Every structure is written in structure tokens, then in C-alpha cells.
């Protein structure tokens, strides 16, 4: 099967990180292509960024829909997800939605870890409420850095940043699992699980596996 993974922002380094995770966890039968839009926001942090990114996600979907069996939208805000599902009958998954749904299926209470963006934790809670998961979400914890500020720090700094937020979610909020809401956090799952001792959900993996499952049924 062929799956198109779209990074809705224009930061190619993030596309590369998403691709590394997707290829490491894809089925041997899956052929992946990971793409970055030719223009749009460098990071998706506000409603304006989501609106601009949505156009470019849908443009890519329309132009490539015939070539692929499924699609992954690689941003925790899921830009264009609902609209994308109206232009294809093939599976489309967003990493934010997929991560929260996965967490709620394996843990009684999960916490969302997200970058510090304009609007703060309220934006994370909007995503939780949109899925009807308020009673399952223990908290939304911010990292203290924006999307790109967090992405371009060293690996050790990234792990410590996420560990601190996750530790608070576990110790103070009672979380049994963590959702990494930003694609810039991909690749940290295993290290954080070892250090925190709970499930850590990487949305790139969750979305990819969901699309693989349903694309396989139609190919």
C-alpha cells in the first residue's frame, strides 16, 4: 500500500524527523512518501497558522489523492483533517486525533504534552473536548518552548524538557499515559517511557498504524 505523510508546516527538518519515525514503524508492505508544502507557516501555533496550513494540506490531497491508499497529516492541530475526509474515501488520520484516541484506549487517564503557544493549554483542551475526551484527560501540560524553539534544541534538552512536563503530569495529575501533541516531539517515545514508566503515545506512529490498518482492507 502507498501512504502519503504530509507535514503541514514548511520546516523540512521536521518533515525529516516525521519520516524517520514513520519508516521505523511502518509495515514492510507500506510504501511511504513524506512531503512538505511549498509554502505556508514554518510552525503551526495559532488559528491563523492552521487556516493557512489547511489550504496547502488540501491542495496536496487533491493533487495526489489518486496515487495513494491513505494519508497522514503530521501536525497535532490536525489542519484540514475534517475537510480532507470529504474529498476521499481513503483513510486519513491526523496525529493529534490519533494520539489522543490511542491513549484513551490503553490508559484510564492521559495527559497531553504540547509546546507553549499563543492561547496556551486552552488550545490543547479544545482538541480534547472536540473528541469528547474531557473525562479521560488528566491535564494539558506545556513544555515552556514554542514549536520550533523546542524542536531545534539538542536531543538531551528535548528529552529533559519533555521529561519535566511528563513528570508533573504523572505525579501531580495522575496521568497513566502521555500524548506528545507536536510532531516535533517524535522519536522520543521509548526514552520517555523508560524514564517515566508509563505509556507515551507518539501521534506519528498512531496515525500511521490507523491508516495502514484501514488501507490494507481496501487494497
Per-residue pLDDT reduced to its tens digit, 48-64 = 999 999 999 999 999 99
Q: Are 177 and 200 in contact (CB under 8 A)?
A: yes
Q: Which domains does the chain have, with CATH numbers?
A: 2-94+205-218 (3.40.50.12500), 97-202 (3.40.50.12500)
Mean pLDDT, to the nearest integer, of 121-128? 92
Q: Is the pLDDT of residue 218 over 80?
A: no
Q: Is the pLDDT of residue 135 over 70?
A: yes
With 0-12 CB in 10 A as exposed, 13-18 as middle and 19+ as buried, what is 108? exposed
Average pLDDT for the chain: 95
What whole-number distance in Å separates Cα of residue 81 and Cα of residue 210? 14
What is the grid cell recorded at 57?
Answer: 494540506
Q: In what order do the strands lie in the sheet with 31-35?
A: 31-35, 2-6, 70-73, 92-94
Name the band, by pLDDT with cuts 50, 70 and 90, for residue 151: confident
Q: Are 204 and 22 in contact (CB under 8 A)?
A: yes
Three-state secondary-structure class, residue 104: helix
Name the band, by pLDDT with cuts 50, 70 and 90, for residue 120: confident
Task: Name every residue whose Cβ is closer than 8 Å to that of residue 206 and which is 6 or more positions away in sequence.
Answer: 93, 95, 98, 99, 101, 102
Name the band, by pLDDT with cuts 50, 70 and 90, for residue 172: very high
Mean pLDDT, to the nearest integer, of 146-152? 89
pLDDT recorded at residue 1: 93
Residue tagged 494539558 (cell numbers): 140
Q: Is the pLDDT of residue 150 over 90?
A: no
Q: Structure pTM?
A: 0.95
pLDDT recorded at residue 219: 57
Q: What are phi and psi of 138, to 5 degrees?
A: -75, -35
Per-residue pLDDT reduced to its tens digit, 60-80 = 999 999 999 999 999 999 999
Q: How many CA atoms lie within 13 A of 185 on its CB side?
A: 35
Residue tagged 505525579 (cell numbers): 171
Mean pLDDT, to the nearest integer, of 142-153? 91
Task: Name every residue whose Cβ is closer than 8 Å to that of residue 81 and which is 6 or more positions away in sequence.
Answer: 73, 92, 93, 94, 97
What whole-number distance in Å separates Cα of residue 171 and Cα of residue 175? 8
What stretches of 107-219 adopt beta strand conformation (E)? 110-114, 137-142, 177-180, 199-202
Encode 122-161: b = buried (16+ Cβ within 10 Å), e = exposed: ebbbebbeeeebeebbbbbbbbebbbbebbeeeeeebeeb
Amino acid at each position: 500500500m502507498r501512504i502519503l505523510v504530509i507535514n503541514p508546516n514548511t520546516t523540512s527538518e521536521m518533515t525529516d524527523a516525521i519520516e524517520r519515525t514513520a519508516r521505523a514503524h511502518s509495515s514492510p508492505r507500506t510504501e511511504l512518501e513524506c512531503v512538505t508544502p511549498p509554502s505556508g507557516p514554518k510552525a503551526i501555533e495559532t488559528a491563523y497558522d492552521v487556516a493557512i496550513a489547511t489550504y496547502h494540506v488540501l491542495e496536496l490531497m487533491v493533487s495526489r489523492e489518486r496515487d495513494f491508499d491513505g494519508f497522514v497529516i503530521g501536525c497535532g492541530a490536525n489542519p484540514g483533517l475534517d475537510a480532507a475526509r470529504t474529498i476521499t474515501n481513503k483513510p486519513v488520520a491526523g496525529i493529534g486525533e490519533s494520539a489522543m484516541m490511542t491513549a484513551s484506549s490503553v490508559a484510564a487517564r492521559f495527559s497531553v504534552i504540547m509546546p507553549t503557544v499563543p492561547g496556551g493549554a486552552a488550545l490543547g483542551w479544545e482538541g480534547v473536548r472536540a473528541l469528547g475526551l474531557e473525562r479521560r484527560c488528566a491535564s494539558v501540560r506545556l513544555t515552556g518552548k514554542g514549536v520550533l524553539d523546542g524542536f531545534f534544541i539538542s536531543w538531551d534538552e528535548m528529552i529533559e524538557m519533555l521529561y519535566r512536563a511528563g513528570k508533573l503530569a504523572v505525579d501531580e495529575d495522575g496521568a497513566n499515559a502521555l500524548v506528545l501533541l507536536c510532531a516535533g516531539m517524535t522519536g522520543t517515545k521509548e526514552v520517555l517511557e523508560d524514564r517515566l514508566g508509563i505509556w507515551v503515545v507518539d501521534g506519528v506512529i498512531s496515525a500511521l498504524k490507523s491508516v495502514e490498518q484501514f488501507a490494507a482492507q481496501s487494497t
